[in-house]
């Protein structure tokens, strides 16, 4: 198998993990107006919930569900106790970002205080090696790709074909107008935190599975990659984030194969800065969700 | 004191100096200018690395166990100066992030990401700066001549660090307390309005990135000369958050606050936790320290967002208008006439008291001269030629928004000294027309002729400098500037309103400032708002905000005002007062075009009135004329 195909396969897996995380992040930002930098911390905290369940002897894929639930509940509470009070006071967007950075420290290092500074791994089998279309990946990696496709399809159906999705799009486009049209925006915002929190929890666990071993601060760097995918597609745009995830996922892994793995994330970084400088609205331009 | 205690004290003093300098730089960017730089720590790192590689000998001569570039073995103080310069220069490539186009929070995220990534790059790339291991055995300044371990050396190093901190304090105070600093604070409070008042946002933000970066670089240089090593672990992105915590807790935008924050957080907090006996598993105390930093940020942002030592209110006061004596170096007396907005009003014939007014339109100058000579407003005589009398003319103006004709061929004339009204139902294109006249938006076709000159191609700030100034439909006061400062921020041509001018000190710009203060006081007196001179813009009522905005527009020395619903949401009594003020201004030669919804206002104050509907001018004339026309009544007046 060629080097290109091998790195392409890894790229697809990275893109799959990234897509779940980036779509969750970007929908959260679009509807709630919070650029939540604590997203990475919530991801890894959820992954540790799955780890706890996994340590109790439960299969990690069932643990994934507990992580989704934990991410969902955690995000709703984070919003209710922290972000909403600040927003009600009319805090500027930049203040909200600083608040979310403060929450990052609290969640990440609070978690590290509990679980300790050493990395852990899920107890699971990587499954047999599977060959498909010239790619050689483990069964787990194929499951991750499949899971991501299912999640993307779910998001698509949610946004395009459900009343809730329509209300979310309306809220993101213009919250006060949506409220005047009879949409209960507060409830939509809370629901969005629940849904995107679940995506965040799933992303965290899948990220942890894919990385092999993880610790409380493992998501710091991945958050940067998520931001790159989000800004490439245009902040707040779900489909843009999907495209961004595929581009960044493939670009980082293929460059890792041809340049050196230590610099693979630097590619994501370069993409992010170039996008900010050249086209702050993202590839798709400015449209809502 | 035992020698151990003594060295501990030196340690604290030097760290205090380093952190104070770093916090002052960050406070200048974040608290004063509103530039949120989440990548601040990279500038400190740049300074530390620069000082290190300039003072280290060549890598092969240094045991060859480290790998780094340069290694020029330069003597003190070259490494420290290099650190400052490089810290400032490193900021330049980032100015594209803080320009006009990118939202502030996006730019902040971009800088945060940059900090994470540069750390990653330096960690993984060994040849330049020795990678993850970092640089060690960095020489202390003058260590060949003196023994860095001696008590005397440590005394001098501590004193030097603190002296540089004092220098940094004086520097940022000089910049912030100048007219330029006021422009920075105006940009922080509302960047779009600052832009429309002629402030160059990109230049101001770039200057603050460089100034703050230079201070951060200096702090890094001092630090590395003391601890003699520097590695990627010393400048993780979270270190920036510690500095932000310090600035927020101390008092954002307040320099004493930055000093206090530096002493409380990076120095005090980290030292205090040393005395906590270690408990739990290894690393737990450090983890809890980070949690505590996060909590401190949240608690302060919630309970005391202004910090322990808040930004102080700059009280200038209303003074005793209208005639004031201002002490300049030459004891010139500046007299303020009843013409506070006119450029030459205060200085006509007074020699050096006021610098010559910026290039102005002849008409405006004539009016000013008349008044300075003591002419009563009613003495304004119409110029000989009728065409001279047209201040602003729109010729067949068209604006399309994606196929919608918001304005579909409008030609109007506004004559000198009139308070011309512009009415029409919602969506008639009034605000769009106003925006095209002011240059806020471009035209699809047509021309804007101002005083006989085609200004269609000029951007808004250039038209503002020609005296064609607009106000906005939404309140746009600078919230954390006093009313007086709101006015002063709009005064054009102040010598202190540039970084270079600010750095030259108060003596350089005090006269311009005094002249601007006099004009502002006269305006406040005229609008009966002298009692509010030292009130923050954010604490005003709706009507007072509107008045402040009009006064601020007048401070730019306009020949013509474009007002977008100046009385919207204002108490009817105050609205009539505003109308009265506007009429007075017109009687004195000012030309005003005013968009308004309220027919009663039009009836009382505006003549002539231009009526728009669906993008075209339906009619114009006096309100009585308009009421007589059936189509006009049909379109608007009864509805």
> Which of B109, B290, B301 minimises the CB distance to A95?
B301
The proportion of chain B whose per-residue pLDDT surpasses 90, expressed as a percent, equals 47
The proportion of chain B whose per-residue pLDDT surpasses 70, expressed as a percent, equals 87
More confident residue, A287 or A148: A148
The whole-number average pLDDT for the span B192-207 is 84
Give the model's pLDDT for residue B365. 39
For residue A272, list chain B residues with Cβ-Cβ distance below 8 A: 110, 113
CB A10 within 8 A of CB A142: no
CB atoms within 10 A of CB B500: 11
CA R_g for chain B = 30
Check if A119 contacts B (Cβ < 8 Å): no
Summarised one tens digit per residue, pLDDT across range B119-138 is 988 998 888 899 898 998 89
Q: Domains of chain B, with CATH numbers? A: 3-236 (no CATH), 387-484+556-637 (3.40.50.300)
Cβ A277–B114 below 8 Å, yes or no?
A: no
Q: What six digits make up the tokens of B121?
A: 């790059």
CB A17 within 8 A of CB A148: yes
Q: Tokens 């936790």 label which residue?
A: B273
Summarised one tens digit per residue, pLDDT across range B100-111 is 667 778 888 888
Give the model's pLDDT for residue B341. 45
Query: Which of B110, B31, B301, B115 minimizes the C-alpha distance to A99?
Result: B301
Give the model's pLDDT for residue B320. 65
Q: How confident is the model at residue B330 (pLDDT cuts 50, 70, 90)?
A: very low
DSSP class of residue A218 equals: T
Cβ B301–A101 below 8 Å, yes or no?
A: no
E strand or H helix at B409: strand B404-415
CB B71 within 8 A of CB B58: yes
Cβ B38–A263 below 8 Å, yes or no?
A: no
* Neighbouring residues of B102: CB distance < 8 A, sequence distance ≥ 6: A276, A280, B110
DSSP class of residue B269 equals: I
DSSP class of residue B638 equals: -
Segment among A112-121, A250-259, B212-221, B303-312 with least mean pLDDT: A250-259
- State whether residue B411 is helix, strand or coil: strand
Give the model's pLDDT for residue B333. 39
According to DSSP, the β-strands at A129-132 and B468-470 are unpaired
**What's the rounded Cα separation, in Å, for the pair A179 and A218?**
39
Cβ B117–A94 below 8 Å, yes or no?
A: no
Query: Which of B443, B384, B390 minimizes the C-alpha distance to B412?
Result: B390
For residue B321, pLDDT beyond 60:
no
Give the model's pLDDT for residue B86. 96
Give the model's pLDDT for residue B361. 38
CB atoms within 10 A of CB B454: 12
Which residue of B246, B291, B293, B402 is the best one to mutate when testing the A interface, meaning the one whose CB has the most A CBs within 10 A? B291
Summarised one tens digit per residue, pLDDT across range B13-35 is 999 999 999 999 999 999 999 99
**What's the rounded Cα separation, in Å, for the pair A230 and A239?**
10
Cβ B104–A94 below 8 Å, yes or no?
A: yes
* Neighbouring residues of B513: CB distance < 8 A, sequence distance ≥ 6: B179, B488, B494, B496
Give the model's pLDDT for residue B638. 52
Cβ B290–A108 below 8 Å, yes or no?
A: yes
**What's the rounded Cα separation, in Å, for the pair B628 and B639?**
15
Q: How confident is the model at residue B635 (pLDDT cuts 50, 70, 90)?
A: low
Residue A129, beta-bridge partner list: A138
> Which of A97, A231, A280 minimises the CB distance to B108?
A97
> Which of B105, B114, B120 minimises the CB distance to A94?
B105
Check if A287 contacts B (Cβ < 8 Å): no
Angle at which helices A3-32 and A163-173 cross, to 10°: 70
> Which of A224, A262, A280 minimises the CB distance to B116?
A224
Cβ B294–A106 below 8 Å, yes or no?
A: yes
> Which of B107, B244, B283 minimises the CB distance to A117?
B283
Burial zone of A132 (CB within 10 Å; 0-12 exposed, 13-18 middle, 19+ buried) = exposed
Average pLDDT, chain B: 84
Summarised one tens digit per residue, pLDDT across range B62-82 is 777 888 888 888 998 999 999
Give the model's pLDDT for residue B454. 92
Q: Which residues of B touch A (CB under 8 A)?
A: 36, 38, 96-97, 101-110, 112-114, 116-117, 120-121, 124, 237-238, 241, 244, 248, 280-284, 287-291, 293-295, 297-298, 301-302, 305
**Global confidence as pTM:** 0.86
More confident residue, A282 or B625: B625
Summarised one tens digit per residue, pLDDT across range B484-511 is 999 999 998 899 999 999 999 999 999 9
Q: How far is A281 from chain B (nearest CA, A)?
A: 9
**What's the rounded Cα separation, in Å, for the pair A231 and A212?**
27
Angle at CA of residue B460, ends B454 and B466, nearest 5°? 60
E strand or H helix at B455: none
For residue B208, pLDDT beyond 60:
yes
More confident residue, B433 or A281: B433
Summarised one tens digit per residue, pLDDT across range A156-204 is 999 999 999 999 999 998 888 888 888 999 999 999 999 999 999 999 9
Domain boundaries, chain A: 15-219
For residue B105, list chain A residues with Cβ-Cβ distance below 8 A: 35, 93-94, 96-97
**What's the rounded Cα separation, in Å, for the pair B51 and B220?**
8
Give the model's pLDDT for residue B222. 96
How far, rounded to the nearest angstrom, does the alpha carbon of residue B107 sit from its chain's CA centroid?
A: 17
- Closest residue in B to A97 (Cα–Cα): B105
**What's the rounded Cα separation, in Å, for the pair A149 and B379?**
80
The proportion of chain A whose per-residue pLDDT surpasses 70, expressed as a percent, equals 98
Summarised one tens digit per residue, pLDDT across range B340-379 is 444 433 333 333 333 333 333 334 434 344 334 433 333 3
Q: How far is A24 from chain B (nearest CA, A)?
A: 18
CB A214 within 8 A of CB A120: yes
Summarised one tens digit per residue, pLDDT across range B554-607 is 998 889 999 988 888 778 888 888 888 899 999 988 999 999 877 888 888 888
Give the model's pLDDT for residue B101. 64
How far, rounded to the nearest angstrom, does the alpha carbon of residue B219 sit from its chain's CA centroid?
A: 25
Angle at CA of residue A18, ends A240 and A248, nearest 5°? 65
Summarised one tens digit per residue, pLDDT across range A197-214 is 999 999 999 999 999 899
Give the model's pLDDT for residue B636. 66
């Amino acid at each position: 198998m060629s080097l290109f195909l091998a790195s392409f396969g890894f790229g697809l897996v990275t893109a799959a993990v990234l897509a779940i995380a980036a779509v969750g992040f970007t929908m959260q930002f679009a509807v709630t107006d919070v650029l939540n930098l604590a997203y990475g911390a919530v991801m890894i905290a959820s992954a540790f919930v799955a780890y706890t369940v996994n340590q109790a002897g439960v299969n990690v894929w069932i643990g994934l569900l507990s992580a989704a639930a934990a991410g969902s509940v955690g995000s709703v509470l984070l919003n209710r106790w922290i972000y909403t009070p600040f927003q009600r006071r009319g805090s500027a967007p930049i203040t909200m970002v600083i608040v979310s950075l403060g929450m990052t420290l609290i969640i990440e290092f609070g978690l590290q205080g509990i679980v300790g500074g050493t990395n852990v791994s899920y107890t699971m089998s990587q499954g047999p090696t599977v060959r498909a279309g010239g790619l050689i990946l483990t069964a787990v990696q194929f499951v991750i790709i499949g899971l991501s496709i299912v999640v993307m399809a779910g998001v698509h159906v949610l946004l395009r074909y459900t009343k809730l999705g329509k209300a979310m799009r309306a809220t993101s486009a213009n919250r006060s107008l949506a409220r005047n049209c009879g949409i209960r925006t507060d409830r939509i915002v809370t629901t969005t935190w629940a849904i995107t929190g679940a995506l965040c929890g799933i992303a965290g666990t899948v990220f942890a599975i894919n990385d092999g071993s993880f610790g409380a601060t493992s998501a710091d760097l991945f958050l940067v990659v998520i931001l790159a995918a989000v800004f490439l597609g245009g902040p707040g745009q779900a489909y843009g984030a999907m495209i961004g995830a595929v581009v960044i996922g493939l670009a980082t892994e293929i460059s890792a194969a041809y340049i050196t793995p230590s610099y693979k994330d630097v590619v994501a970084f370069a993409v992010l800065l170039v996008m900010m400088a050249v086209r702050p609205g993202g590839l798709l331009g400015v449209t809502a969700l | 004191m035992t020698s151990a205690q003594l060295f501990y004290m030196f340690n604290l003093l030097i760290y205090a100096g380093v952190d104070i300098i770093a916090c002052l730089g960050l406070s200048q960017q974040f608290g004063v200018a509103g530039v949120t730089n989440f990548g601040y720590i990279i500038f400190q790192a740049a300074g530390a690395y620069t000082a290190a590689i300039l003072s280290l000998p060549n890598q092969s001569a240094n045991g060859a166990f480290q790998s780094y570039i340069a290694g020029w073995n330069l003597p003190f103080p070259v490494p420290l100066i290099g650190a400052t310069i490089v810290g400032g220069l490193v900021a330049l490539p980032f100015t594209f992030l803080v320009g006009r186009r990118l939202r502030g929070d996006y730019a902040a995220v971009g800088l945060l990401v940059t900090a994470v990534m540069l750390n990653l790059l330096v960690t993984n790339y060994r040849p330049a700066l020795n990678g993850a291991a970092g640089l060690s055995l960095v020489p202390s300044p003058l260590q060949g001549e003196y023994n860095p371990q001696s008590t005397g050396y440590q005394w001098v190093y501590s004193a030097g660090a603190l002296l540089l901190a004092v220098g940094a304090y004086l520097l940022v105070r000089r910049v912030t307390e100048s007219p330029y600093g006021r422009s920075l604070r105006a940009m922080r409070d509302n960047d779009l309005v600052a832009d429309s008042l002629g402030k160059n946002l990109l230049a101001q933000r770039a200057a603050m990135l460089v100034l703050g970066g230079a201070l951060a670089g200096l702090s890094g240089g001092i630090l590395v000369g003391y601890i003699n090593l520097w590695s990627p672990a010393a400048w993780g992105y979270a270190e920036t958050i510690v500095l932000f915590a310090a600035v927020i807790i101390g008092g954002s935008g307040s320099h004493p606050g930055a000093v206090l924050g530096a002493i409380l957080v990076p120095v005090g907090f980290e030292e205090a936790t040393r005395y906590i006996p270690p408990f739990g598993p290894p690393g737990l105390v450090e983890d809890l320290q980070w949690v505590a930093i996060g909590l401190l940020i949240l608690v302060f942002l919630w309970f005391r967002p202004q910090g322990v030592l808040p930004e102080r209110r700059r009280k200038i006061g209303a003074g005793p208008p209208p005639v004031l004596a201002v002490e300049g170096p030459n004891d010139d007396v500046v007299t303020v006439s009843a013409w506070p907005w006119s450029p030459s009003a205060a200085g006509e014939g007074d020699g050096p008291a006021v610098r010559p007014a910026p290039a102005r339109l002849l008409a405006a100058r004539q009016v000013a001269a008349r008044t300075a000579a003591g002419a009563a407003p009613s003495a304004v005589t119409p110029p000989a030629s009728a065409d001279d009398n047209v201040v602003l003319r729109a010729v067949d103006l068209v604006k399309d928004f994606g196929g919608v004709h918001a304005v579909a061929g409008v030609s109007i004339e506004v004559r000198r000294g009139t308070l011309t009204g512009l009415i029409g139902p919602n969506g008639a294109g009034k605000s769009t027309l106003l925006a095209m006249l002011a240059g806020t938006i471009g035209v699809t076709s047509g021309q804007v002729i101002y005083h006989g000159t085609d200004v269609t191609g000029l951007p808004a700030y250039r038209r503002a400098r020609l005296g064609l100034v607009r106000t906005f439909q939404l309140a746009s006061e600078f919230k954390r500037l006093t009313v007086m400062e709101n006015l002063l921020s709009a005064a054009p041509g102040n010598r202190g309103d540039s970084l270079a001018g600010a750095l030259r000190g108060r003596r350089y710009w005090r006269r311009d400032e005094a002249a601007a203060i006099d004009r502002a006081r006269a305006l406040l007196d005229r609008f009966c708002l002298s009692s509010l001179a030292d009130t923050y813009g954010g604490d005003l009522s709706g009507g007072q905000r509107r008045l402040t905005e009009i006064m601020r527009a007048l401070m730019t020395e306009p020949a013509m005002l474009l007002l977008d619903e100046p009385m919207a949401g204002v108490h009817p009594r105050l609205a009539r007062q505003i109308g009265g003020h506007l009429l007075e201004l017109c009687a004195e030669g000012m030309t005003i075009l005013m968009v308004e919804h309220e027919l009663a206002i039009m009836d009382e104050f505006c003549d002539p009135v231009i009526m728009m509907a669906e993008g075209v001018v339906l009619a114009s004339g006096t309100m009585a004329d308009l009421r007589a026309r059936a189509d006009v009544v049909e379109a608007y007046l009864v509805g």
